[in-house]
Amino acid sequence: MDERFPAALQQMLSDRLSFYEDIGIRLFYRDRAATSLAPSTAANRASLQVHPEETPLPKTTPTAAVQKAALMAASPLRKIDILPMPSGPSLFESVEKIADDSLLKIRTDLGECTRCKLHKGRHTIVFGDGNPKAQLVFVGEGPGHDEDIQGLPFVGRAGKLLTQMIEAMGLQRKDVYICNVVKCRPPENRTPEEDEVSTCSPFLLRQIDVIAPKVIVCLGAVAAKTLLQTNRGISQFRGEWLEFRGRKLLATYHPAYLLRNPNAKGEVWKDLQKVMAVLGLQVKKGKSA
């Protein structure tokens, strides 16, 4: 224990650092603008006191800025505009990949997660499913009712359509990896909120790093916006090859959208054919999703 700091503050920092470790942030740099915060004076020490009436920092929830830094450190090379980043020095100047990371370790780190409010209504955490060494990863938005019950991604009506699409590509579900931006079902299948996405998505980044696919296909706007950190509508870059952490990324419509708009299936099939070309898969005559 460092007696210069109150025990409550040390515990708070320890909890926060544990969370950063879970999401792969291992290197920390002192903010250049914050050097004067060194606790060298009584006034500074006083400013570091945690008062009992203060609400402590959430045990495992990072700030949106830190999460955004983690996502932006992914450095997606893109053809689209990204959200503006805060200027000036950052507390985190590097996000390291975890050298010996694995899907099992990520799942263990996730645990019986209560990091965001989505845990309150979930039945099961839907971590992801498929080939841990897949060349192709599909990223959706979040679990729905069937997924929440079964603990598997894309097993409802939209999931059946995704399975058909995968099979039309000449693959099976066990050949690819399927996961979501958030791992707990949002109530009433609503769109995940920003704080939920920012809290859960670092685990998705770790999954992608570990699987190291050749191609990532984002299914729908939430997945695309999360990985690319863009506020543009998906229709502005759907079907374009983008790059994410040195990997090819393509965004297309979510199967649930196709259930409501079957006319868009042709567009999606064209997108998937681009993926097939990169993966060296043959288009079978007469096949379409």
Q: Which residue of 199, 207, 229, 230 would you call a contact of ligand SF4, by CB under 6 A?
A: 199
Q: Using the minimum distance from each CB to ligand SF4, give the nearer residue, 19 or 237.
A: 19
Q: Which of 235, 208, 240 is nearest to 221 (CA)?
A: 235
Residue closer to ligand SF4, measured from CB, 171 or 204: 204
For ligand SF4, which is the closer residue by CB, 166 or 205? 205
**Window contacting ligand SF4 (CB under 6 A); options: 28-36, 91-99, 192-200, 256-264:** 192-200
| Single-letter amino acid code for the residue at 277 | A
Q: Is 272 in the site for ligand SF4 (CB under 6 A)?
A: no
Segment 221 to 250, residues that bind ligand SF4, using CB under 6 A:
none
Q: Which residues contact 91 (CB under 8 A, 6 or more apart)?
A: 28, 29, 30, 31, 66, 69
Question: Is there a contact between 148 and 126 (Cβ–Cβ < 8 Å)?
Answer: yes
- CB of 78: closest distance to ligand SF4 in angstroms? 25
Under rule CB under 6 A, residue 206 binds ligand SF4? no
Instruction: Kindly tell me which residue out of 70, 116, 204, 217 binds ligand SF4, with binding defined by CB under 6 A.
Output: 116
DSSP codes joined into one string, the chain? --TTS-HHHHHHHHHHHHHHHHTT-------GGGGGGSS-SHHHHHHTPPPTTSPPPPSSPPPHHHHHHHHHTT----SS--PPPPPS--S----PPPTT--HHHHHHHHSS--SSGGGGT-SS----EE-TT-SEEEEES---HHHHHHT-SS-SHHHHHHHHHHHHTT--GGGSEEEESSSSPPGGGPPPPHHHHHHHHHHHHHHHHHH--SEEEEESHHHHHHHHT--S-GGGTTT-EEEETTEEEEEE--HHHHHH-GGGHHHHHHHHHHHHHHHTPPPPTT---
- Answer for which of 23, 70, 71, 118 binds ligand SF4 (CB under 6 A) is 118
* Choice between 113 and 242, CB closer to ligand SF4: 113
What pairs with residue 248 in β-bridges?
A: 215, 243
Residue number, 179 or 268, with CB nearest to ligand SF4 = 179
Per CB under 6 A, contacts with ligand SF4 among 119-138 are: 119, 125
Decide whether 40 or 108 has the Cβ nearer to ligand SF4: 108
- Which residue number, 115 or 225, has a Cβ lying nearer to ligand SF4? 115
* Least CB distance to ligand SF4 at residue 45 (A): 34
Q: Does 16 bind ligand SF4 (CB under 6 A)?
A: no
User: Which part of the chain contacts ligand SF4 (CB under 6 A), choosing from 43-51, 93-101, 162-170, 178-186?
Assistant: 178-186
Residues of this chain, 17-76, that bind ligand SF4 according to CB under 6 A: none
Indicate whether 182 belongs to the interface with ligand SF4 (CB under 6 A): yes
- Position among 71, 95, 98, 113 found at the interface with ligand SF4 (CB under 6 A): 113
- Residue whose entry in the numeric block shows the structure tokens 């007696």: 3
Residues forming the site for ligand SF4 (CB under 6 A): 110, 113-116, 118-119, 125, 182-184, 196, 199-200
